[in-house]
């Protein structure tokens, strides 16, 4: 990206605002503004299940913050990660249990785009994590993903007036090394339905792959500092490997993409459940 455009994009990220140019009469303008205000209203949603997809390719438009400009803080620690281009995209997903009970989507805008991170060594205490599949004590290792709330469109760049959907937390994700006690029982057959289709019967591993903690993110730019707080601190996401599906193209928009970037998804990677945790066994 040319330097003037990059500086402008960084300034927009810092203020938490993207400028949208519109045309039309006064009545149309009022209607559009009213609809945007309703869509972007500050509302805290319950945490949805997430179906995560590996990313096959990423188009131009990703704006990775410079080293040292992003600080993350959660219940474990505070640190400055090095951030790489995204590798995982997550959709809110409806889960259908063998009993026929449906766990619905509460916020269809609650997508995530996840970026690999590296950093100096961070504390990773053992944790006890509980969700609909059970309770287990987990051994974690160093955080390796930062997941940002993300607008998504199947047809064109979202070009929303805010850089991210409201009422959602950022997440830092920690790989699970080992289940130390307890365990999770996966009901079968388990079916999932998201924006790409379904219901589809899936196979889910009972051994989780990562735990994602709600995390405060602070970004320092040439025009100022912006902090994105934790919205629902009690709710975490525990992710389980899931059987793969076909790849699809999407367009994502968040604080690191500007109006949007084209992304091709490769296959499903994990089913993430809303979960609670406590430190220790």
The DSSP code for 186 is -
Q: Which of 133, 126, 124 is nearest to 49 (CA)?
A: 133
Q: Residues 132, 240: contact at Cβ < 8 Å? A: no
189 preceded by a cis bond (ω within 30 of 0):
yes
According to DSSP, the residues that pair with 218 across neighbouring strands are 71, 227
CA–CA gap between residue 66 and residue 45 (Å, rounded): 31
According to DSSP, the residues that pair with 226 across neighbouring strands are 219
CA–CA gap between residue 5 and residue 60 (Å, rounded): 13
Q: What is the reported pLDDT for 198?
A: 87
Secondary structure in 3-state letters for 72-134: EECCCCEECCEECCCCEEEEECEEECCCCCEECCCCCCCEEEEEEEECCCCCCCCEEEEECCE
- What residues does each domain of the chain span? 3-279
Give the containing element (helix H, strand E) for 15. helix 3-15
Classify residue 82 as exposed, middle or buried by CB count within 10 Å of its CB (0-12, 13-18, 19+).
Answer: middle
pTM, full prediction: 0.83
Digit-by-digit pLDDT tens for the chain (281 residues) are 433 333 333 333 333 332 222 333 333 333 333 344 344 444 555 689 999 999 999 999 999 999 999 999 999 999 999 999 999 999 999 999 999 999 999 999 999 999 999 999 999 999 999 999 999 999 999 999 999 999 999 989 999 999 899 999 999 999 999 999 999 999 999 999 998 888 999 999 999 999 999 999 999 989 999 999 999 889 999 999 999 876 678 989 998 988 889 999 999 999 999 999 999 87
């Amino acid at each position: 990206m040319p330097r003037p455009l990059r500086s402008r994009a960084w300034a927009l990220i810092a203020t938490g605002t993207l400028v949208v140019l519109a045309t039309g009469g006064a009545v149309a303008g009022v209607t559009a503004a009213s609809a945007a205000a309703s869509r972007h209203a500050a509302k805290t949603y319950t945490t949805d299940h997430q179906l995560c997809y590996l990313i096959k390719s990423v188009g131009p438009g990703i704006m990775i913050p410079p080293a040292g400009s992003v600080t993350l803080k959660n219940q474990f620690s505070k640190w400055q990660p090095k951030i790489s281009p995204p590798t995982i995209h997550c959709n809110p997903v409806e889960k259908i249990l063998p009993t026929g009970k449906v766990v619905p989507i509460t916020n269809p805008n609650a997508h995530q785009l996840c970026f690999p991170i590296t950093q100096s060594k961070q504390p990773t205490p053992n944790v006890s994590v509980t969700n609909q599949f059970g309770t287990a004590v987990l051994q974690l290792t160093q955080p390796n993903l930062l997941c940002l709330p993300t607008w998504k469109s199947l047809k064109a760049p979202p070009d929303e007036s805010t850089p991210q959907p409201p009422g959602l937390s950022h997440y830092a994700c920690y790989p699970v090394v080992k289940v130390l006690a307890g365990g999770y029982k996966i009901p079968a057959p388990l079916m999932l339905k998201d924006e790409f289709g379904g219901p589809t019967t899936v196979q889910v591993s009972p051994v989780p792959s990562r735990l994602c903690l709600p995390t405060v993110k602070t970004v320092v730019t040439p025009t100022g500092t912006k902090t994105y707080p934790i919205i629902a601190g009690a709710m975490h996401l525990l992710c389980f490997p899931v059987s793969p599906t076909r790849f699809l193209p999407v367009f994502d928009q968040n604080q690191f993409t500007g109006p949007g970037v084209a992304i091709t998804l490769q296959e499903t990677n994990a089913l993430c459940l809303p979960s609670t945790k406590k430190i220790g066994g």
